[in-house]
């Protein structure tokens, strides 16, 4: 039997918390008991005193920090776990904004989150700023009078003047310093563009690992200190990277995780006040909602994204996504109107896309959406024409996105089936069925399953359709989402 990674099982922690709460103990008392009984770091003890998971804590830290101007923190479960372990191995030092956001979330003082080991590891400048800046939250269960009774007396006379000068000098040193330069920011955005482009042609799981690593680098920089314009650029990079992780998570069939990434991407877009990023994040969230069956949400996200003044092709994609959702609802007029809006947006484009790759809507991608929409509203001839146009456009594109190309072929096959041409459908699907398992993403398998359903209709009977149905079933069983679902996971206490 494997020994637990941390002393004290979840059942032990829950029982202790319940017993102490029933006995009238404060959160501070429970946190102290958690520390001593289970040998926890202070920040972990306070989390378990509240009974929160890592993700619940991350959400509260993120939400609470927004109320502190210039000190917003974008937290996730992984970061909270690393902050708790610090200064131990595989940890990350929580910045002062993080510590103050944690204290606000836990309803305690920053001092309660630090022990002697933490204080020895803190940089001198941060330790000094920590002692000069009062906490906003009183410790749970500690009256304000008790705190003031042990407070140090205020300095007076020349000591007061000298202390004020020291405070200003310390703050100036902090304000003048930056943990990132303009060249480093340019490199981060260049790497983000590269990942967004590589996703069109690469193994999604391997690229997910690279994207997550770059996101963590950006998050780590944001936990430090930089000039406001540099913070804005970092939030933009973080927003696009979280948006890319959301897109990948959705394509791998992990829609709930995709939604979480989308919410964090939206926070970054809001903190950066960046309209292009806002629109692309809403496009990503529309895509996730569509594949999750939340079609009204998909429409609302797409329409909300279209309200921002943007450059590049995001307005084209948002209109295509709105049309996609309307067609799934069977709203023919609305779907066709949205496709017309996509054409208008294409004509009104003012510049190139900022990031590109998956965050771009090339003409072939637009035609792919048009083909799928026309199929759903009962226009197979128009769908086949759009699919043929899309394939012709793919040939002249510098990068051919295998996911888009596969969906175009599926639209071709569906149009042939609608016309009773099973042989033509099988021929159109040949390039799709030849995709390696790592490239068989959720949108492709979902659309193939829809096609398989239509194969069972009377208009699509015959020997060719039986072979087609069997090929589709084998394809979907050996797919990237299925491999991910069957891979061993890592549990967390």
Q: What is the mean pLDDT of residues 213-239?
A: 91
User: Beta partners for 359?
Assistant: 356
Say if domain 181-328 classifies as CATH 1.25.40.10.
Answer: yes
- Spatial separation of the C-alpha atoms in residues 384 and 402, rounded to whole Å: 19
pLDDT of residue 310: 95
d(CA 207, CA 245): 9
Element (H, E) at 187: helix 182-198
Half-sphere exposure of 162 (CA within 13 A, CB side): 5
Q: Picking from 32-46, 157-171, 189-203, 355-369, which range would have the lowest pLDDT averaged per residue?
A: 157-171
**Which residue in 47, 95, 106 sits closest to 72, CA to CA?**
95
pLDDT(9) > 90: no
The CA distance from 49 to 52, in Å, is: 8
pLDDT (tens digit per residue) in 162-216: 777 766 766 666 666 677 888 889 999 999 999 999 999 998 888 999 999 999 9
pLDDT reported for residue 480: 75
3-state class of 359 per DSSP?
Answer: strand
How far is it, in rounded angstroms, from Cα 199 to Cα 244? 9
473 pLDDT band, cuts 50/70/90, is confident
Question: Domain-by-domain residue ranges, the chain?
Answer: 10-143, 181-328
32-36, 67-71, 99-103, 282-286: which is most confident: 282-286
DSSP 243-307: HHHHHHHHHTT-HHHHHHHHHHHHHHHHHHT-HHHHHHHHHHHHHHHHHTT-HHHHHHHHHHHTT
The partner residues of 356 in beta bridges, in order of sequence, read 359
* Cβ 97 vs Cβ 65: under 8 Å: yes
**Residue 239 token pair:** 């927003």
Q: What are phi and psi of 447, to 5 degrees?
A: -70, -35
Residue 462 scores a pLDDT above 50 = yes
Q: Which residues contact 426 (CB under 8 A, 6 or more apart)?
A: 413, 464, 467, 468, 471
- The count of other CB atoms within 10 Å of the CB of residue 182 is 12
What distances in angstroms separate CA 149 from CA 26, 99, 146, one per listed residue?
20, 24, 5
User: What pLDDT, in 10s, does the model give residues 302-351?
Assistant: 999 999 999 999 999 999 999 999 999 999 999 999 999 999 999 999 88
Mean pLDDT of the chain: 85
Q: List all residues 6 or more positions away from 388 whose beta carbon is below 8 Å from its beta carbon.
A: 412
Q: What value does the mean pLDDT take over residues 10-18?
A: 89
Q: Is the pLDDT of residue 20 over 70?
A: yes
Residue 460 scores a pLDDT above 70: no
Q: What percent of the chain has pLDDT over 70?
A: 85
Judged against a pLDDT cut of 60, whether residue 483 lies above it is answered with yes
- Ordered DSSP codes for 386-418: HHHHHHHHHHHSSS--HHHHHHHHHHHHHHHHH
Three-state SS at 356: strand
At 151 the pLDDT is 41
Give the end-to-end CA distance of the chain in Å, rounded to a whole number: 16
Q: What angle do CA 41, 43, 44 make, to 5 degrees?
A: 65
**14-51 CB burial, b ≥16 within 10 A, e <16:** eebbeebeeeebebbbbbbbbbeebebbbbbbbbbbbe
> What is the 8-class DSSP label of residue 438?
G
Question: pLDDT of 141-153, one tens digit each?
Answer: 443 333 333 344 5
Q: Which helix (H) or strand (E) holds 489?
A: none
Whether 394 and 408 have beta carbons less than 8 Å apart is answered as: yes
Q: Cis peptide leading into 357, omega within 30 of 0?
A: no
| pLDDT tens digits, one per residue of 392-451 | 999 888 888 989 999 999 999 999 888 888 788 888 989 998 888 888 888 888 888 888
The answer to whether the CB of 339 falls within 8 A of the CB of 320 is yes
> What does pTM read for this prediction?
0.68
What's the confidence (pLDDT) of residue 3? 44
Q: 488 pLDDT band (50/70/90 cuts)?
A: low
162 is written with which tokens? 């000298």
Buried b / exposed e along 273-300 (16+ C-beta atoms within 10 A): ebbbbbbbbbbbbbbbbbbeebbebbbb
Of the listed ranges 61-75, 101-115, 288-302, 303-317, the least confidently predicted one is: 61-75
Angle at the Cα of 16 from the Cα atoms of 15 and 21, rounded to 5 degrees:
100
């Amino acid at each position: 039997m494997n020994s637990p990674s941390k002393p004290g099982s979840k059942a032990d922690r829950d029982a202790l918390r319940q017993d102490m709460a029933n006995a009238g103990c404060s959160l501070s008392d429970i946190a102290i008991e958690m520390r001593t009984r289970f040998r926890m770091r202070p920040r972990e003890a306070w989390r378990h005193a509240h009974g929160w998971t890592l993700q619940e804590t991350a959400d509260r830290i993120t939400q609470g920090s927004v109320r502190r101007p210039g000190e917003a923190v974008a937290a996730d479960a992984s970061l909270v776990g690393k902050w708790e372990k610090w200064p131990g191995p595989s940890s990350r030092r929580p910045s002062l904004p993080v510590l103050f956001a944690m204290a606000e979330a836990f309803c305690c003082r920053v001092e309660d989150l630090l022990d002697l080991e933490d204080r020895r590891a803190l940089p001198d400048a941060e330790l000094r700023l920590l002692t000069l800046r009062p906490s906003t939250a009183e410790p749970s269960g500690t009256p304000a009078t008790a705190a003031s009774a042990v407070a140090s007396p205020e300095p007076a006379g020349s000591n007061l003047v000298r202390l004020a000068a020291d405070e200003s000098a310390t703050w100036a040193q902090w304000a003048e310093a930056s943990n990132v330069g303009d060249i480093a920011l340019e490199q981060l955005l260049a790497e983000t563009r590269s990942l967004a482009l590589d996703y069109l042609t690469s193994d999604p799981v391997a690229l997910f690992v690279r994207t997550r690593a770059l996101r963590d680098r950006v998050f780590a920089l944001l936990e430090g200190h930089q000039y406001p314009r540099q913070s804005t650029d970092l939030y933009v990079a973080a927003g696009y990277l979280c948006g890319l992780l959301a897109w990948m998570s959705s394509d791998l069939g992990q829609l709930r995780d995709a939604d979480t990434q989308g919410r964090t991407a939206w926070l970054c877009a809001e903190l950066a006040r960046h309209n292009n990023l806002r629109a692309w994040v809403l496009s990503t969230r529309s895509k996730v909602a569509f594949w999750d069956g939340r079609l009204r949400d998909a429409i609302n996200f797409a329409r909300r994204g279209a309200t921002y003044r943007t450059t590049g092709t995001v307005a084209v994609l948002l209109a295509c996504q709105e049309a996609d959702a309307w067609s799934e609802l069977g709203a023919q007029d609305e779907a066709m109107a949205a496709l017309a809006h996509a054409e208008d947006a294409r004509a009104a484009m003012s510049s190139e896309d900022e990031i590109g790759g998956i965050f771009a809507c090339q003409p072939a991608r637009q035609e792919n959406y048009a083909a799928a929409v026309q199929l759903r509203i009962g226009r197979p001839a128009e769908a086949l024409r759009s699919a043929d146009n899309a394939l012709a456009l793919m040939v002249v594109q510098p990068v051919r996105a295998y996911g888009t190309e596969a969906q175009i072929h599926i639209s071709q096959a569906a149009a042939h089936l609608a016309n009773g041409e099973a042989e033509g459908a099988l021929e159109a699907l040949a390039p799709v069925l030849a995709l390696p398992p790592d490239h068989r993403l959720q949108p492709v398998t979902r659309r193939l399953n829809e096609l398989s359903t239509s194969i069972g209709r009377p208009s699509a009977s015959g020997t060719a359709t039986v072979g087609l149905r069997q090929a589709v079933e084998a394809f979907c069983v050996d797919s990237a989402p299925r491999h991910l679902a069957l891979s061993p996971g890592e549990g967390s206490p």
